[in-house]
C-alpha cells in the first residue's frame, strides 16, 4: 500500500522541528519503515520523524494534531504483532534517537531512561554495581524499552520476575493534545489512578512515552541452570506441573519440542540429543536457596520421566544453552523457508492436552508445527512452518495459527502472552472480550485520544472512533485505510 | 451534616430491588454509616442499600442513574482515609452481603470471590491446601477484599509480596451506566488495556466491583521471625539499609520507636524492653534459604548496632510478637486520649533523616509523635498524639500530620502508602501532581463516570465535573456539598 502524500510545506515544518536529516520522506528510504518484526503486514508511512528530545516530541504531536495526521510510535521495530505498522496517511514517530539514561538511584532501586534505550544496554550499564533490569525478551539485544512498554514485553525470566508492567514504576508521556503528564513515578504505590498500568501494553494507542522509570534489581547471588531431555512433551509438561505444584518458582522454565530442538541444533551447533522434548531451567537466588531448590527441581524432573539432565560446567556452557533457546525463532529458517510465530497463553495445567491438539492440527493441515515456549507461564509460541512458494500454504499456515489461538481462548487462556495485539491479533479480540469489555477499553482510549490519531487500527478488532457518548463509538471509513492486507 | 431526603417513592423502588430489610433510611440507623475508620469526617447518607447479587447492583446503579443520585461504595468501613465517607444526597452501597467464594483453581493459582469477602477468611479457606492470599493489612480480620481493591491496601508483608494490585488479576465491574465489564482475568497478562490496574486504588470513583479474581500463593515452607532492639531509630534505620543493600528481601521489616513500644507494651503485655527502637522481621521461603538469609540478616542487624536479638521459641511466641505490632494503632489509646494516624512514603534511604525531622516537629508542636511503620517499603505511619479536650490541640495535630506529608513529598515520597487518598488526603494531591497529571486522571474518571456520581469528592483535590473537552473539567458548586467539614 502506498503512502498518501503530506504536502511539502507541512513536511518542511516537521523538518524545522527535528532537522531535515531526521525527517524521512523519500519513498525508497521509507521502505525501511514499512513493517516491524511482523513482515507479512506492510504499509508505507507518509513521513518518518525522528525526534531527539521531549520538546521535539511535543512539537511534533502538536503539529500532527493541527494537520490531523495520525501518529504511529516506533522503537527498534522488532515487535511481532504489527504494533508499529505505519498508517498510509500518517507519520511514523521513531524514538530510537532518545536513548539517554537520565538518572540511576541504586539506594532506592530505580532508574529513569528515555524510550530509545536498548533493553540489554540497561543491564550492561547496571552490571558493575551488581544490579540488572529483569524483563528479557529474546530480542533484548536490539529492542527498546519504549517498545517493551508499548507491548508489555515478557521473556524467559518473567515466570519469577513478572512482565514489563511489574518493572515500570512510572512514565512521562506526551498526550495527543501535546500536554505532558507523569503517570506513576519512583515512589511506591503512587496515589490516584494507576494509569502507569493502563499505559504499559497500550501499544502506542494512548500517548507517546518520553521517559520511563524502571525498577532495578540486585543480581541474584547465584544461578543454577539445567537442561533436561524427555521422550515427549507429555513428560516434560508433567515435570513443569510437579515443580510448580511443589511451590518452587524457577527463574525460567523453557520447553522445546522435537522439531524446535532439530532447528536449534541446525542453527547453533549445540550438542543436544534428538529427543521428544527438552526443558531449559534457571533457578536463582541466594546460594543456599539455589542449591536446595535446584536439587529438588532435579529430583522432580527425574520423577516425571527425564531421560537425561545436563548441568553446564561453567558460564560459557550456560550461555551456549541459553543462546540455543533464544535463537529458536530464527533457527526455523534452517528447516523451513517460512514460518508464522504464534503467541498465546493457556492455563499451565492445560499444557499437555493443548500440545496434543496442536499436534492434531499439524496432522490435519499437513504443516509442521514446532513448539518452543515459556512453559512455567503457559505462554506458548507455536511456530507454523510453511513454504510461501507453494500456493495456498501461507494462508493455510495463518489459518492454522489462528486455530491455535482459538484453542488457547477455549481453555481459559489468551490470544497473546507477550507479543501484543497490534494489527495481527486485533481481529481475535472478540474471542476474549465482550462488546461491553471492548467499549470500556475504548472509552479510556477516547479519553486519551478523542480524535483516534494515536496508532489507529491497532488493538481494537474493528475500526472505531469516539462518539458523542462515552464508551460508544462509530466505525469510520477512512480509518480502515490504516490497515493493509497481508503480503 | 444531615442527609438530603430521597423521596419515599424512590426509596420504595430501592426496597423493591434488595428487599426492605436491606434498605436503611431510618435516621438513627443511618448514623452507623456516617464514617469509615477516619472518624473525624462524618456525613449521614440519604440511604444505605445492601445488595446481595450482581443483578441487584446493576438494578441499583441504573435506578441511581435515573434519579441522578451519587453512589458511594463501602465494604466493612475500616478504611483510614475517608474513602467510604457518604455524600449527603447520595446512596451508600454496602457490599458486605456479597461474600461468596465463587471458584478456586489451585492448579493455576487463582480464585474468584465477591467483594464482601473478609481478607483473612480467604487465607483461612485456602490453608488446608497449603495456599494463602498475601496482602495483609492490619485490619485483615475485618476488612473486605472490595475495600482492599478500592484502596490498593498494603500490609506488613508487602515488602516482599507487593500490594493488592500485585494480587488482583481481574475484576467484574458494574459501570455507572449499569453495564457490566470484565477487567483483566485469571489469564496471565490479558491483552488490551490493563484497566485492572487503573481500577485497583481508584477508591470507588470508577465503577462498582462485583467479583474479584485473586492470585493465590503457596504458603512458604518456613518463616523465621526475629525481634531486634536498638538504642535509637538511627541504628534501626541503618540495619534496614544494610539488609536491603545486601540484596536480602525479607517478607517484612517493621520498625517501632520508643513511644510505640511503650504503647504496645501497655496494651498487649508483651515483654519488650524499654529501648529507643525495635525491628520486627520475617524472612520466609524454602528452609535452606530461610536459614541462610535469617543468619545473614541477623549478622547485619548486629553490625548496625542492635542491643539484643530475640527469636521466638515457637509459633505462639511469634504470634504474640506480631499481635503486638498489629495492635499498635489501637494501643495508642493507652497513652493518649486521641491520635491522628498518618500514612506517607519516603525513599527507603531517607528513613533516618526524616525521622529526625519528625522529632523536630514533635518538639516544636509540643505533641508526642509515635512511629510504627513498614520500614522496608519506607512507608511511614506517624501517630500524632493529642487531647481533643484541650482547645486547639486537634487542629494542631492535624496540621502537624499535614507537615509530615509535605516532608514525605519533599524527599521524593508520597502522600499515602496504603491507606488511600479518600476525602482526607485529597487536598494534598496537588503536592504530588501537576494540574496536567490530575487532568489526565480526571479524563479517565470522566470516561468511566461522565456524571461524576461514583464516590464524588474523593481523590481529586478540588470538586470537578466532566466538561465538554476531554481532560478538562469545571468546578461544580453542588458537588462540594459532598464534603463535610471535620469533627
Q: Report the CATH number that the domain containing residue A34 is assigned in CATH.
A: 3.30.43.10
Best of B189, B224, B292, B435 to disrupt the A interface (most A CBs within 10 Å) is B189
pLDDT attached to residue B80? 93
- Asked if A81 and A417 count as a contact pair (C-beta separation under 8 A), the reply is no
Best of A163, A193, A204 to disrupt the B interface (most B CBs within 10 Å) is A193
Distance of alpha carbon B13 from the chain centroid: 34
Which residues from chain A sit within 8 angstroms of residue B200, using beta carbons?
Answer: 194
Best of A187, A300, A421, A460 to disrupt the B interface (most B CBs within 10 Å) is A187
Q: Provide the number of structural domains found in chain B.
A: 5
Say how far apart CA A42 and CA A86 lie, in whole Å. 8
pLDDT attached to residue B187? 84
Q: Which residue of chain B has the CA closest to A246? A: B218
pLDDT attached to residue B200? 97
Q: Is residue B3 part of a domain?
A: no
- Asked if B50 and B18 count as a contact pair (C-beta separation under 8 A), the reply is yes
Which residues fall within 8 angstroms of residue A469, CB to CB, at 6 or more apart?
none
Does one domain contain both A383 and A282?
yes
Does one domain contain both B347 and B320?
no
Picking from A118, A178, A92, A173, the residue whose alpha carbon sits closest to that of residue A456 is A92
Q: What CATH number corresponds to the domain at position B183?
A: 3.30.465.10
pLDDT attached to residue B471? 37
Which residues from chain A sit within 8 angstroms of residue B459, using beta carbons?
Answer: 191-193
Does one domain contain both A167 and A290?
no
Q: Is residue A18 part of a domain?
A: yes
Q: Is residue A444 part of a domain?
A: yes
User: Cβ–Cβ of B191/A414 closer than 8 Å?
Assistant: yes
Q: Considering just the CA atoms, what is the radius of gyration of chain A in Å?
A: 23
Q: What CATH number corresponds to the domain at position B400?
A: 3.30.70.2740
- List, as own/partner pairs, every contact residues A294-297 make where C-beta atoms lie below 8 angstroms and the sequence separation is at least 24, other chains included: A294/A224, A294/A226, A296/A246, A296/A248, A296/B286, A297/A226, A297/A243, A297/A248, A297/A250
User: Cβ–Cβ of B440/A379 closer than 8 Å?
Assistant: no
Picking from A342, A364, A361, A365, the residue whose alpha carbon sits closest to that of residue A353 is A361
Q: Is residue B1 part of a domain?
A: no
Does one domain contain both B304 and B272?
yes
Which residues from chain A sit within 8 angstroms of residue B292, using beta carbons?
Answer: 286-289
B15-40: per-residue pLDDT in tens? 999 999 999 999 999 999 999 999 88
Distance between A266 CA and the closest CA of chain B, angstroms: 33
Give the domain-ending residue among A52, A76, A94: A94
- A13: containing domain: 8-94
User: Cβ–Cβ of B292/A291 closer than 8 Å?
Assistant: no
B331-348: per-residue pLDDT in tens? 999 999 999 999 999 998
Does one domain contain both A212 and A234?
no
| Arithmetic mean of pLDDT, B211-238 | 95
Does one domain contain both A387 and A297?
yes
Does one domain contain both A242 and A319?
yes
Give the domain-ending residue among B71, B94, B117: B94
Q: Report CA-CA distances (Å) from B320 to A344, B264, B280, B381.
A: 48, 11, 12, 21
User: Cβ–Cβ of B192/A433 closer than 8 Å?
Assistant: yes
Say how far apart CA B324 and CA B305 lie, in whole Å. 23
User: Cβ–Cβ of B201/A181 closer than 8 Å?
Assistant: no
B237 touches A at CB < 8 Å: no
Give the domain-ending residue among A218, A236, A264: A218
User: Cβ–Cβ of A198/B194 closer than 8 Å?
Assistant: yes
Does one domain contain both B211 and B114?
yes
B63-93: per-residue pLDDT in tens? 999 999 999 999 999 999 999 999 999 999 9
User: Cβ–Cβ of A441/B192 closer than 8 Å?
Assistant: yes
Does one domain contain both A278 and A323?
yes
Distance between B450 CA and the closest CA of chain A, angstroms: 8
Distance between B172 CA and the closest CA of chain A, angstroms: 10
Q: Is residue A116 part of a domain?
A: yes
Between strands B465-466 and B473-474, the pairing is antiparallel
Q: Digits of tens for pLDDT over chain A (487 positions)?
A: 444 589 999 999 999 999 999 999 999 999 999 999 998 899 999 999 999 999 999 999 999 999 999 999 999 999 999 999 999 999 999 999 999 999 999 989 999 999 999 999 999 999 999 999 999 998 999 999 999 999 999 999 999 999 999 999 999 999 999 999 999 999 877 889 999 999 999 999 999 999 999 999 999 999 999 999 999 999 999 999 999 988 889 999 999 999 999 999 999 989 999 999 999 999 998 888 898 899 999 999 999 999 999 999 999 999 999 999 989 999 999 999 999 999 999 998 899 999 999 999 999 999 999 999 999 989 999 999 999 999 999 999 999 999 999 999 999 999 999 899 999 999 999 999 999 999 999 999 999 999 999 999 999 988 777 865 443 333 333 333 333 333 3
pLDDT attached to residue B247? 85
Q: Is residue A386 part of a domain?
A: yes
Does one domain contain both A233 and A372?
yes
- Asked if A225 and A282 count as a contact pair (C-beta separation under 8 A), the reply is yes
Distance of alpha carbon A485 from the chain centroid: 22
Give buried/exposed letters for B380-413 (b at 16+ CB in 10 A, else e). bbbbbbbeeeeeebbeebbebbbbbbebbbebbb
Residue B129: other Cβ atoms inside 10 A: 12
B105 touches A at CB < 8 Å: yes
Does one domain contain both A471 and A454?
yes
A342 touches B at CB < 8 Å: no
Q: Is residue A415 part of a domain?
A: no
Q: Report CA-CA distances (Å) from A248 to A242, A280, A461, B168, B292.
A: 9, 15, 38, 21, 17
Would the pLDDT of B278 be above 70?
yes
| Mean pLDDT for chain B overall | 92
Q: What is the number of helices (H) and of strands (E) in chain B?
A: 16, 22
Does one domain contain both A42 and A164?
no
Q: Is residue A312 part of a domain?
A: yes
Say how far apart CA B443 and CA B421 lie, in whole Å. 18
Say how far apart CA B233 and CA B357 lie, in whole Å. 12
- Asked if B345 and B314 count as a contact pair (C-beta separation under 8 A), the reply is no
Amino acid at each position: 500500500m502506498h503512502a498518501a502524500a503530506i504536502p511539502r510545506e507541512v513536511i518542511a515544518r516537521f523538518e524545522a522541528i527535528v532537522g531535515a536529516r531526521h525527517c524521512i520522506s523519500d519513498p525508497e528510504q521509507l521502505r525501511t519503515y514499512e513493517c516491524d518484526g511482523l513482515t507479512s503486514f506492510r504499509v508505507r508511512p507518509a513521513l518518518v520523524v525522528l525526534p531527539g528530545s521531549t520538546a521535539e516530541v511535543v512539537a511534533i504531536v502538536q503539529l500532527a494534531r493541527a494537520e490531523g495526521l495520525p501518529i504511529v510510535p516506533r522503537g527498534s521495530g522488532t515487535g511481532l504483532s504489527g504494533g508499529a505498522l505505519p498508517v498510509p496517511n500518517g507519520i511514523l514517530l521513531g524514538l530510537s534517537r532518545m536513548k539517554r539514561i537520565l538518572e540511576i538511584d541504586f539506594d532506592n532501586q530505580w532508574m529513569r531512561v528515555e524510550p530509545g534505550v536498548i533493553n540489554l544496554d540497561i543491564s550492561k550499564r547496571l552490571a558493575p554495581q551488581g544490579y540488572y533490569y529483569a524483563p528479557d525478551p529474546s530480542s533484548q539485544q536490539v529492542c527498546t524499552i519504549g517498545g517493551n512498554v508499548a507491548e508489555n514485553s515478557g521473556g524467559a525470566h518473567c515466570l519469577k520476575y513478572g512482565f514489563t508492567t511489574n518493572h515500570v514504576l512510572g512514565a512521562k508521556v506526551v498526550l495527543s493534545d501535546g500536554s505532558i503528564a507523569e503517570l506513576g513515578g519512583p515512589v511506591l504505590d503512587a496515589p490516584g489512578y494507576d494509569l502507569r498500568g493502563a499505559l504499559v501494553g497500550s501499544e502506542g494507542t494512548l500517548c507517546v512515552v518520553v521517559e520511563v522509570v524502571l525498577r532495578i534489581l540486585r543480581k541474584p547471588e547465584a544461578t543454577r541452570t539445567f537442561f533436561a531431555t524427555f521422550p515427549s512433551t507429555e513428560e516434560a509438561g508433567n515435570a513443569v506441573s510437579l515443580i510448580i505444584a511443589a511451590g518452587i518458582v524457577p527463574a525460567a522454565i523453557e520447553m522445546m519440542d522435537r522439531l524446535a530442538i532439530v532447528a536449534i541444533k541446525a542453527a547453533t551447533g549445540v550438542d543436544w540429543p534428538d529427543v521428544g522434548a527438552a526443558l531449559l531451567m534457571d533457578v536463582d537466588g541466594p546460594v543456599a536457596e539455589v542449591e536446595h531448590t535446584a536439587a529438588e527441581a532435579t529430583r522432580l524432573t527425574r520423577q516425571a520421566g527425564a531421560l537425561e539432565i545436563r548441568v553446564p560446567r561453567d558460564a560459557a556452557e550456560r550461555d551456549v544453552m541459553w543462546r540455543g533457546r533464544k535463537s529458536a525463532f530464527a533457527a526455523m529458517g534452517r528447516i523451513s523457508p517460512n514460518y508464522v510465530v504464534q503467541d498465546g497463553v493457556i492455563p499451565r495445567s492445560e499444557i499437555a492436552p493443548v500440545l496434543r491438539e496442536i499436534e492434531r492440527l499439524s496432522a490435519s493441515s499437513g504443516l509442521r508445527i514446532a513448539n518452543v515456549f515459556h512453559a512455567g507461564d503457559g505462554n506458548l509460541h507455536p511456530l507454523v512452518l510453511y513454504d510461501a512458494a507453494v500456493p495456498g500454504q501461507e494462508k493455510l499456515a495463518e489459518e492454522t495459527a489462528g486455530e491455535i489461538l482459538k484453542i488457547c481462548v477455549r481453555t481459559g487462556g489468551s490470544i497473546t502472552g507477550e507479543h501484543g495485539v497490534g494489527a495481527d491479533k486485533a481481529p481475535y479480540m472478540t474471542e476474549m472480550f465482550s462488546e461491553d469489555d471492548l467499549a470500556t477499553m475504548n472509552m479510556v482510549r477516547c479519553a486519551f485520544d478523542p480524535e483516534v490519531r494515536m496508532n489507529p487500527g491497532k488493538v481494537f478488532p474493528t475500526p472505531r472512533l469516539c462518539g458523542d457518548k462515552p464508551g460508544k463509538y462509530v466505525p469510520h471509513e477512512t480509518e480502515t485505510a490504516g490497515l493493509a492486507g497481508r503480503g
